[in-house]
Amino acid sequence: MADRPNNIEDYLVRLHSHQWFTWTNSKSKVYANLRLTPEYGIGGEMVSNPHSLPTEQECTDGLTQLQTDFDDRKTKQETDKASANAKLQALGLTDDEITAITK
């Protein structure tokens, strides 16, 4: 499983393809440092950027949704693993046998 989304860049890269935004400070990826690129390259040609920046609230909400989705997937994976182990134990497998087939 990939890392949990932790800044608005994780949301922004999902909105549009190409390098449509940039940062005034790449070490501090916060909304105040977010800028729209005027142009970006496609197939060796520079084209005008047709996009606009989302609002700070849209970025915050988007990141929150990505984090919720990540957490839900992680919880489901853990729940499914526990359920599978319980079913294997109910079939009579030992913990060592379960570990041998699940690792």
Show pLDDT as tens, one digit a residue, over the chain (103 residues). 689 999 999 999 999 999 999 999 999 999 999 999 999 999 999 999 999 999 999 999 999 999 999 999 999 999 999 999 999 999 999 999 889 988 7
CA separation (Å) from 10 to 49, 62, 66? Answer: 20, 9, 8
